[in-house]
Structure 1
Amino acid sequence: MPMTGVLRPGHAQLRVLDMEESVHFYTNVLGLKETGRDKSGRVYFKAWDERDHNSVILRQADRAGMDFFGFKVESKEVLENLDKALKAYGVTTERMPAGEMMETGERVRFKAPTGHTFELYAEKNHVGNGLGDFAPEAWNPDQKGISPVRMDHALIYGKDIDGTRKLFEEVFGFRVTERVKLEDKTTDLAAFITCSTKAHDLAMVRHGEDDKLHHVSFRLDSWEQVLRAADIMTMNRVSIDIGPTRHGITRGATIYFFDPSGNRLETFCGGYEWYPDMHEITWPVEEVGRAIFYHDRKLNEAFLAVVT
């Protein structure tokens, strides 16, 4: 049973400028598996070790960014209870009918105080990872590109990160794992929150504009695979923001890079396991360089300023 009723991040719908170019990138460079296309032209993908039908959905648009980010919950009963809890908290919800997204059941959609659209859902068609459920092999040999094991988390930018953090804490039971404090030692510049045993399932940074995406992240199994991902990016002339390097926050090893439309993505491995009896970690703003880029100990200006 999940600790909060929320199982994990389940899907992200991203806006892209050129669908054909984007499908090539997400299939052959990032190494996701295309799982379908709907009547509206959206293209669906999953990472190789994900069991559900999709985790990344691409929609062609005239500007890049993220339409919404979804979390899978334990059951339809939990979905109903969380819908009621959102309304009791003063949040307006919208029901998205089953089938509006391919192979996905009814979704509860709402806006967070930072302006981002989030969704909750309980049902998505199980398609497996290609290995089967009886005496499976260790990994699927039919993989392309970087080939992450899963879509892992997102980092969002907006004004009222306190309100968004509190909503996820008080309604969904998320917990804060790490914070970055501004000069006043009281105000959060950033907060990292989890619904699981991961170091974070969602992160947020205080920013002058609402509803901005910093990155969607994909998990790899090892540092060697992160280095291999960097090689694949260079072979394909992918625009790399920074890395390979390590974070101080979460201790993950990382590369940040851009898809052809300018959406920032991350491949990473590592990071610690988190449990509810652990203490929050706090970083003063004077240490933010080491917190984000542990080796360089300074920030890349583009890393702070470029969002979609």
Structure 2
Amino acid sequence: MRMGVMRLGRVEARVLDLEKSIDYYSNVIGLQLVAREPGKAYFKAWDEEDHHSLIITEADYPGLEHMGFKVRYQEDLDTFEKAIEQYGIRVNRVSNRHRIGEGEAIRFTLPTGQVMELYHEIERIGNGLKLNPDPKPENLKGIAPPYLDHLLIAGEDVPATTDLLMKVMDFHMSERVILHGDELFAVWLFRTNTPHDIAIIKGPNGKLHHFAFGLSSWEDVLHAADCLAKNEVVLDEGPTRHGITRGLTIYFFDPSGNRNEVFSGGYIPGEDFTPVTWTEERLPRGIFYHKGEITERFTGVFT
């Protein structure tokens, strides 16, 4: 089977107050608001070419509505539909233009309870940097990340979701946490040249730990910290470094309690990368390398 998963393309997050959330993602995070419809708003980061990478949907409770991974070819949808159903998971079709700017998709539920979509077609609106460009646009607001980077989800059966993503969608493992000698507690998986496009941790089914925006440098991470402090955004952890992925990070919460992250650095794995293993006694240093401690809020708050 030709493997066509390219990258994480979009996250749809539930928010409690749409207008307050639009202000936050526009002016604190610094995303571009590209479209609205009743109860929803669509955003892209400044260096992304697709119509959107974040959708926020007003709801009674926060969390992850769905994640979407982009595939290389339209016909890949048929291939993956058959492969996922053969694996034993029911697949539904999402119609063309079900959401603004989006083409047809296939939708299914992971063993850990999250809804995933695979899609190819999405309106391409560009980044304005294709002819003799400057390094970045003028008048960016807030943190201004160039792209959506990854997300971390939780569920009871980490091995099952890991198996599906690796066997059917050709994800590769960069890092893992093993507890009690053989329990797979968490994994970091990639399809692109990043330590992780998605991570999975043992926890309550169907839950989101965070979704993350990529930054280019430690200086950008510190700029993000300044923006968050100026806007009195609640910090969870950081600025600091991960042992896992070696990335530079800050965790914080949007107005609805969804955890966001800004992430920079890490290594560039290839398809033959040998996974890094962390054990229980070193896990705190793996999560936060400098402090070597994990707070109850970081391990216990999901949406």
Work out whether the TM-score is over 0.5.
Answer: yes
| Structure 2: gaps of 5 or more residues | none
| Root mean square deviation, CA, Å | 1.0
Aligned amino acid, residue 278 of structure 2: W
Looking at structure 1, the residues matched to 297 and 78 of structure 2 have their Cα atoms a distance apart, in angstroms, of 41
Note the residue ranges of structure 1 that are not aligned, 5 or more in a row.
Answer: none
TM-score, normalising length: structure 2: 0.98
Q: Which residue pairs with 2:120 in the alignment?
A: 122
The 5-angstrom pairing of residues 215-226 of structure 1 reads 215-226=210-221
* Pairing of 1:32-71 with structure 2 (within 5 A): 32-38=31-37, 40-71=38-69
Q: Hey, what's the Cα distance between the residues in 2 that align with 1:140 and 1:294?
A: 34
Contact conserved, 1:156 with 1:215, CA < 8 A, in 2? yes
SS in 1 for 2:262: strand
Matches within 5 A, 1:16-165: 16-38=15-37, 40-131=38-129, 133-165=130-162
Aligned residues: 302
By how many angstroms is 1:103 displaced? 0.7
Do residues 279 (structure 1) and 274 (structure 2) align? yes
Question: 242-251 vs 77-86, which deviates more?
Answer: 77-86
Task: Kindly report which structure 2 residues correspond to 1:200-219, keeping only aligned pairs within 5 A, or say none.
Answer: 200-207=196-203, 209-219=204-214
**SS state at 1:23 partner:** helix
1:263 aligns with 2:258: yes
CA contact (8 A) 1:4 1:195 kept: no
Q: How far off its partner does 1:278 sit?
A: 1.9
Secondary structure of 1:228's match?
A: helix
User: Could you give the per-residue CA deviations for residues 63-95 of structure 1, whole angstroms, max 9, x where no partner exists?
Assistant: 010100000000101121111111111110111
SS of the residue corresponding to residue 225 of structure 1 reads: helix
Deviations 1:201-224 (A, max 9, x none): 1001011x2000000000011100
Distance 2:6 2:139 in 1: 28
Structure 1: distance between partners of 2:211 and 2:282: 24
Moved over 3 A (4+): none
SS of match in other structure, 1:120: strand
**Which AA in structure 2 matches 1:197?**
N
* Corresponding residue number in structure 2 for 1:166: 163
The 1-side partners of 2:94 and 2:42 are apart by: 17
Deviations 1:232-265 (A, max 9, x none): 0000000000100000000000000000000000
Which amino acid in the other structure matches residue 96 of structure 2? A
1: CA distance between counterparts of 2:274 and 2:159? Answer: 19
What's the % identity of the aligned pairs?
A: 45
State the partner residue of 1:243: 238
Deviations 1:130-157 (A, max 9, x none): 22x2222211113100000111110001
Question: Are 2:286 and 1:291 aligned?
Answer: yes
Find the aligned partners of 2:139 and 2:77 in 1 and give their Cα distance.
35
CA contact (8 A) 1:4 1:174 kept: no
- SS of 1:257's equivalent in the other structure is strand
